[in-house]
Structure 1
Amino acid sequence: MKKVLFKSVPFNKDHITLALESGVDAIIVAQEDVEKVRSLARCTVLAQDAMPVIAFASKKDEEEAVSRLAKGEDVVIARGWEIIPIENLLAQSDNVTVEVATLDEAKLAAGILERGVNAVVVLPEGAEELKRIVAELKLSQGRLELVPATVTAVEHAGLGHRVCVDTMSVMKTGQGMLVGNSSAFTFLVHAETERNEYVAARPFRVNAGAVHAYVVMPGDRTTYLEELAAGEEVLIVGHDGSTALATVGRCKVEVRPMLLIKARVGGTEGAVFLQNAETIRVVRRDGSPVSVVALKEGDEILVRTDAAGRHFGMRIQEDIKEG
């Protein structure tokens, strides 16, 4: 996740209000305007002198930036930068910050050398695209590859403790969380975005599965559903593999009747325990949700396959079999 700062020089209250509503990490203003911003919201405000700007007009400018970064100084590379000089900086520092004014520039900066800059400073001329820039650099976690799996079993599994994850975000049709018995085979469990004649939609909620199940988290991690807690960031995944961050508002663990759902991709089979209720859905290969009540053998649903092997949620190299 990249840092997004917004520069409002000269001072523009409308732009600053937009930046605060967008969720930027900090706002840069002239020294005399710092207290004005602090009166609007609890946020990080930086005087522009604290982050001097270096324009790359020659190799000497690049060398100056390298030297100042090596000393631990915070500098910003002026808009108009080119990829090769930024690559040179990234080879020597993890604290590279560049100016941008468009979403395309922000995405380019975030992807250089596959790890990108640490932060971008959005200039006033980029205000129109600020919300999209924040969503791309702070909420998106890239794309995950989802594949269709063939359902091989849907079986009653008795009572169990299941975890209902209520987030502070509203999800759309086709979005949910990746959950499974194995970190190497997770099912896209759909958010409660659909309403029926008995139950209203709860688009902030994923009724995610049994307490013991793995859930895919930001940063290529997993955790057990039972360990999720309010304030923690979780990974929301779309049927197209797109990702976003959401913050847990609360988790509800309750005893409910459960179903065991198994599916296969090639020679690999995975499983997940989900509540036996019409509102609980997985996702068809075309992105449409299907209730576990209607699910049957032979149906195709979306899953993610991966290499097994996790220790405290972190990927490790180990011979392991999870069922």
Structure 2
Amino acid sequence: MKKELWFDGSVLSPEETGLITDATNRGYTTVILNKNQLKKVKVSNRVKKAIRISSIEEVEKFDKIDIFIVDNLSMAEQLINMNKCTAYYTTVNDRENMEKAADIRIPLNYLIIEFQDTTNIPLELILAKLQNDKVKVMKVVNESSDAIVAMGVMEVGSAGVIMKSKNIHEIVNLSNEIIKKEMKKMDLVECEVVEIKHLELGERACLDSTSIMSKTEGMIVGCTSSGGLLICSEVHYLPYMNTRPFRVNAGTISSYVWGPNNIVEYISDLEAGSKLLAVDINGDSRTVNVARVKSEVRPLILIVTRYKDVEIKAIMQDDWHMRVFSPEGKAVNITDLKPGDKVMGHCSEPGRHVGIKISETIIEK
């Protein structure tokens, strides 16, 4: 389950509210505002807004608020009956308060807990008691290191954290750590080149993303659902033109390209806003958005490789500036490839329908 990342901006002075923008620009998905900030602080529509209220009558004033936070269970029940997204805020500083928090049985959306002590034992006990409930437990934190531990205790961790700090370094560090945690591993294998075949003209596509890729990143592209080759981004030196570090010159429009959640897409189906995986030579992957798919007619080349008894193929533009990765992580010009060379790829169990893995006998050649 993806962890929720909130920022408590309600504690900020007017001079400090710029931190709210910093947080939302770094992936914080919910901000807690105070009543004075609602008209003065602009928050993107993609970010949820939460506010603390002290009476039910205040609800009508805040029609654009996504989450209501209260510290009174009776008010929480009233909010739930009004079909409002409800968060109950409590402080745990002793065993009695801990047990009260763990024994709440009304259908809250969120249980927000601020712990007095640094130990995570009270959090573990609360999570254990509430493991079968749908309530999302959120821990208030002041440091990114505390947040990472809280989201990992008992293997499940809290549903998320609320950063309550004015330290920009802690705000940024937590965002960076969350990004790292959410990176998925792709199994990369060494594939042996068995055939290189120059083809006629055909339509190939460049995939322009909204992200800058590194020299060790690319995308997995192949002719079949059995797997693909790790094709370099255009971040490497080109003597006649500027680099395009946001681009992967991927291959034919009929090729498969790997995306998040084990989804494989036809390049021809992609458009602005589609999501793909940028994968590095260690198999670490991150989700990137497609900004543009640029198709043009170019001479093509077929690269046939093998991993054990699986054949992995890719058809790319037949030009020396097209590159794949060697097992050493070096960018190799595809026009220099010859049978016996090793390149990096991904081997996948075949069988896909509209990109989704299915248990069906499918033969692809």
**TM-score with structure 2 setting the length:** 0.78
Per the TM alignment, residue 188 of structure 1 is displaced from its structure 2 partner at its CA by: 0.8
Equivalent residue for 1:62, pick from 97, 102, 112: 102
CA contact (8 A) 2:124 2:154 kept: no
CA distance in 2, matches of 1:283, 1:84: 48
Distance, in Å, in 2 between the alignment partners of 1:76 and 1:222 is: 38
Query: Retained in 2: the 8 A contact 1:162–1:256?
Result: yes
2:99 paired with 1:53? no
Q: 2:109 aligns with which of 73, 94, 104?
A: 73
Q: State the one-letter code of the partner of 1:241.
A: G
CA distance in 1, matches of 2:216, 2:201: 28
Q: Name the residue aligned to 2:134.
A: 93
Aligned pairs for 1:235-254 within 5 A: 235-254=277-296
* Displacement of 1:238: 0.8
Evaluate the alpha carbon distance shift between residue 14 and residue 279 of structure 1 in structure 2; reply closer, same or farther with a 3 A threshold. Answer: same
Q: How many matched pairs?
A: 318
The alpha-carbon deviation at position 299 of structure 1 amounts to 1.6
Report what 1:128 is aligned to: 169
Which of 1 and 2 has higher RCO (CA within 8 Å, sep 6+)? 1
Shift of 1:315: 2.1
1:167 and 2:168 aligned: no
Inter-partner Cα distance in structure 2 for 1:167 and 1:47: 36
Q: Cα–Cα, structure 1 residues 94 and 75, in superposed 2: closer, same or farther, change >3 Å?
A: closer
**Structure 1, unaligned runs of 5 or more:** none
Aligned pairs for 1:277-288 within 5 A: 277-288=319-330
CA change 1:207–1:102 in 2 (3 A) is farther
User: Which runs of 5 or more residues in structure 2 are unaligned?
Assistant: 54-67, 70-87
Are 1:90 and 1:96, in contact at CA under 8 Å, matched by a contact in 2?
no
Check 1:36–1:141 CA distance in 2 against 1; reply closer, same or farther (3 A cut): same
Which amino acid counterpart does residue 60 of structure 1 have in structure 2? K
1:6 aligned residue: 7
Work out the CA distance in 1 between the residues paired with 2:256 and 2:152. Answer: 29
Distance change (3 Å), C-alpha of 1:180 and 1:111: farther
Aligned-residue sequence identity (percent) comes to 27
Deviation at 1:108, TM superposition (A): 4.4
Secondary structure of the equivalent of 2:205?
A: strand
The structure-2 alpha-carbon separation of the partners of 1:277 and 1:18, relative to structure 1 and needing over 3 Å to count, comes to: same
Of the three residues 336, 341, 363, the one matched with 1:299 is 341
Q: Match for 1:29 among 26, 33, 37?
A: 33
Aligned-partner Cα distance in 2 for 1:165–1:308? 24
Q: Tell me what 2:299 maps to.
A: 257
Alpha-carbon deviation of 1:244? 1.4
| Separation (CA, whole Å) in 2 of partners of 1:199 and 1:19 | 37
Q: Using a 3 Å threshold, how does the CA distance of structure 1 residues 75 and 244 change in structure 2: closer, same or farther?
A: same
Offset of residue 183 of structure 1: 2.4
> Partner letter of residue 110 of structure 2?
D
C-alpha deviation, 1:117, in angstroms: 4.9
The AA in structure 1 aligned to 2:35 is: Q
Distance 1:177 1:103 in 2: 31
